Amino acid sequence: MKQSKYNTIVSLGKQQVLYNTITNKFVVLSDAIKEALKCETVSPLSLKLESNNYLVKDDVDEKQMIESLFVQRRFSSKVYQLTLNTSLDCNLCCWYCYETHAKKTNMSLELVKNILLHLEIKSQADPFKILELSFFGGEPLLNYKAIKALLEGVKMLSERFDFDIHLTFVTNGTLINQKYVELLKEFKVRFQITIDGNKDTHNNTRKYKSKLLGTDSYGRIMDNLKLLNEQEAEFYFIVRVNYETDTLKSISKLMADLEFLDKRRTALSLHRVWQHKATEEDSALLIDAINYINSMGFVVSTFPLATNLENCYADNYNQAIINYDGNVYKCTARDFSSEQPSGKLNSLGLIEWNAPLLLDRLALDIPQKCKDCLLFPSCTGICSQKKVEAKDNEQIPCPFEDLISKEDVILLNIKQQLVIKKYEKENSDYAHVAS
């Protein structure tokens, strides 16, 4: 046997911890483990270390194994990831938003019928076990009729074809109400809701388009989060914070207002506003903010390391984004221009893909610098759209930015695991939104 090339040792307080990036597992580095890692003899401890990938057989090429598993994951048919833009309009006007919002862009019930027909055909021709159905926009909750019709149809299809439904709503959170609660309470739902700092910072950034709605979107979102949090339904929350330097400095004020949330169902995710140039001060402030949120018992999924070989969703074959107008895309991180979509959903429920565009994306290789990286097995990788647009993949920056070291990424993930393990001990059926 030999040590895994994806082992690393980090300091956690006064203890040294052995961490493996394939399994995303860690163990305190004792003298006995140090001795077993020398691979001089086979022992019960060395066999246990092998079962957790800290040790591997001599003939195992881990890098090749990971590359093969990534390819399998990309072309797997087990999960169908379908994102629906039920509206490209929005009731807020956030200065940093990259999208062009437009009125009269609600998805029609006719298109809903075509989507349900598409899922029926897909279920027969290329069956899947899980439908990861996401609602995006714009602000998706502007179109209640389409969402209701879609969910009623999808539920019937799931019963007919025996697949599970995982729902996600990427929403600004201002339009959540009792009507939506009643519609969604029989589903397992993850809400990604953006709150950009404390009340003053948020309201200065995320403003209503109509003055008739007032100036306090923050208060409305908090009320709606309380409504969801009070439900016995399987509602999970990712609170996304798009930060600038001042946002990080005032994170304690935001956390004081979020303390009511069920910590077992909540994760926070901090993302730098893309127009904001990162500074060295931001690096220290970001780590301090994450540590502070952890100290309150919340998980932070800002720099996630995965255990199931995840990659950018847009790299996956079994994935599509259907816009309100029937155009089909692969990526949500760009404006949904009608100039060159990846495909079109027709009236027969079939996606007419732009084959050259699709094949070009699916043919994209993992950059060599990623393959050589310690975090390669657990990193979600470089943004697929950036790879499409880049002349040289090797010039695309690491997704963990220059702000944070790989050691800090590992330490932050260990701390998230410790928070999650605490809740797992309290509830054997516990499954965190960030897991």
| Residue range 329-366, pLDDT digits in tens | 999 888 787 778 999 999 999 999 999 988 888 888 88
Query: Per mean pLDDT, which range of 69-78, 204-213, 392-401 is the poorest?
Result: 392-401
Rounded CA separation 290/192 (Å): 18
Query: Which residues 6+ apart lie within 8 Å of 105 measured at CB?
Result: 87, 88, 89, 138, 324, 325
Residue 435 pLDDT grade (very low, low, confident, very high; cuts 50, 70, 90): low
What is the CATH superfamily name and number for domain 71-353? Aldolase class I (3.20.20.70)
Strands 319-322 and 79-87 turn out to be parallel
- pLDDT above 70 as % of the chain: 97
**CB-facing half-sphere around the CA of 131: CA atoms within 13 A:** 29
Question: Which of 107-116, 344-353, 390-399 has the lowest average pLDDT?
Answer: 390-399
Give me the mean pLDDT over the 398-413 stretch.
Answer: 83
Neighbouring CB atoms inside 10 A of 403's CB total 17
Average pLDDT, the chain: 91
pLDDT above 80 for 401: no
pLDDT digits (tens, 9 = 90+) for 270-314: 998 877 777 778 889 999 999 999 999 999 988 888 777 777 888
* Whether pLDDT at 122 is above 70: yes
- Residue 11 pLDDT greater than 90, yes or no: yes
Please give the pLDDT value at position 430.
Answer: 61
Contacts of 383 (CB under 8 A, 6+ apart): 312, 314, 333, 396, 399
Contact 377, 22 (CB under 8 A): yes
- H helix runs in 55-130, sequence order: 62-74, 109-125
Please name the residue ranges forming H helices in 126-259.
144-161, 178-184, 199-205, 217-229, 245-249, 251-258
Q: DSSP state, 106? A: B
Domain ranges of the chain: 1-60, 71-353
Helix (H) or strand (E) holding 417: helix 406-426
DSSP state of 206: E
Supply the pLDDT for residue 381: 73
- Exposed, middle or buried by CB within 10 Å (0-12, 13-18, 19+), for 435? middle
Q: How high is the pLDDT of residue 431?
A: 66
pLDDT at 88: 94
Residue 24 reports pLDDT greater than 80 = yes
How many percent of the chain have pLDDT more than 90?
68
Mean pLDDT across the stretch 390-400?
Answer: 76
